[in-house]
Amino acid sequence: MARRHLLIVIAVTLAGYIVWDRLEARWLAEDIAAIAARGEPTAFDDRLPQPKNDEQREAADLYAQAAATALESNDNGRAARIDVEKPGGGVELSLDDIRANYPDGAPELQIVDRATPLDFAGFTAEEREGDSYAQSTLENGLYALAARACLRADLTSLGGNGEAAARALVPCIRLKRTVTMSQYRAAIAQRILGSLRILLRHTTPSDAALAAVQQALESWPDADGTAGDLMRDRARLIQMSRLTIYPGVMFMVGRVVLHPWALRSARRAVARFATAIAVARQRWADRWGFFAEQQRVRLQQRQRQRPALIGNLQDPFEPFTPYNPYVLAASAYEIATRHLVAGVLAVERYRRAHAGALPPAVDFSEDPFSGRPLVFKKDADGYVLYSVDLNRQDDGGVLYGLGAMGLRAVGQQTPRDYGIRVPLHPNPVSPVVVK
């Protein structure tokens, strides 16, 4: 009798478990269907733009070739880590060594120069083949290519040729239009700002040269992509919920046993994204406040959480949360950088039209970190234009980092502003030690 009761309990539990699993799968499928019905992506490559005419197909083909060549020849993106104005630390190279290792006539740069003037709308599915929810080989290559192009502009600036350096900056700016992933867009934007710093620190390009850079900036839309970025992140999460993340028998068994937990976690994560996407359409100040509050609440939850194993069984998709200030940071840096580049070009073109004088007043665009205009300050030697950065405090124009990277290891609360300082009289002397 006891054995029969035990078998009945096991059967009922198993049946309930199967019903729960089916219900969770159905509810998640309904949530995903609702997202698709709104025309929003549910997979990594869903609804990405593609070329529509011969010129756009040629541009896509050239950029894809250049990206592949950059990955092969760029020492896994080593140019992305070279700062031609930062002495000390790491491997030190002379400018002559850098020029020898990264020549102006490199194959990837020749290809990108052919693609730069062409109209670009996106890549074909074949060119994105091999990309997945976890990584994009094409975008890795495009980032390496942008780093390489910016390094060429930096080296040209350090040679003192402002006209050629400004021309070399144009492909860097136009390369940004090829990238979809938010972290790469932000990183390339920061590289561009660093290259503009070096250009104006060491050369005096003409108004015509700056006008060409300003025209290239038109290929970089002054748009807020935060909501779209969150939608693509949600699409990656949806794709992950459908895949076996780890190989092997034990993981397969674990996935089967814990399947309803995983489905429930994915469904909750999708719901969290819906809230985050709605918030991403609000004013910047409201977004930062909302995300800060969510971080506070989640920290309290973690402090009360049960042991890690049980917590992970409860919510295996918890790490893929949109409630993180750095989710906003990529879009904020991208927007702030575009506004900084546009603002400095406007100031420099004004100076060239007014015998080197600074404008008495400038109406600068919004700083997404503060929700107020960018800060513009003059001093005896030049001026600084900056954003208040991640700590969202005006630290008086205390910038960090030099050169193409423009970044160093700093904490969120470190006194820091993000911007560009321009001397009234450029220094033609090139440094001899680099990182």
CA atoms within 13 A of residue 336's CA, in its CB half-sphere: 29
**Higher-confidence residue: 8 or 264?**
264
Quote the pLDDT of residue 79: 64
> Tell me: the pLDDT tens digits for 334-385?
999 999 999 999 999 999 999 999 998 888 999 999 999 999 999 889 999 9
CA atoms within 13 A of residue 6's CA, in its CB half-sphere: 3
Quote the pLDDT of residue 291: 80
Q: Which long-range contacts (CB under 8 A, 24 or more apart) does 97-100 make?
A: 98/151, 98/155, 98/434, 99/155
User: What is this structure's pTM?
Assistant: 0.86
- Lowest-confidence segment of 102-106, 212-216, 302-306, 397-401 by average pLDDT: 302-306
Quote the pLDDT of residue 310: 42
> Tell me: the pLDDT tens digits for 273-301?
888 899 889 999 888 888 878 778 777 77
The 3-state DSSP class for residue 21 equals: helix
> Tell me: the pLDDT tens digits for 241-277?
776 544 444 445 555 667 788 888 888 888 888 888 9
> Tell me: the pLDDT tens digits for 130-185?
666 666 889 999 999 999 999 999 999 988 999 999 999 999 999 999 998 888 99
DSSP per-residue letters across 230-277: HHHHHHHHHHHHTS--S-SHHHHHHHHHTHHHHHHHHHHHHHHHHHHH
Mean pLDDT confidence for 187-206: 94
Is the pLDDT assigned to residue 32 strictly greater than 70?
yes
Banded model confidence at residue 222, pLDDT cuts 50, 70, 90: very high
> Tell me: the pLDDT tens digits for 10-28?
777 777 788 888 888 899 9
Quote the pLDDT of residue 411: 52
Quote the pLDDT of residue 30: 93
Quote the pLDDT of residue 403: 46
Q: Which of 201, 205, 223 is nearest to 214 (CA)?
A: 205
Would you state the structure tokens that stand for residue 119, as one six-digit string? 């109209």
> Tell me: the pLDDT tens digits for 315-340?
555 555 666 666 788 899 999 999 99
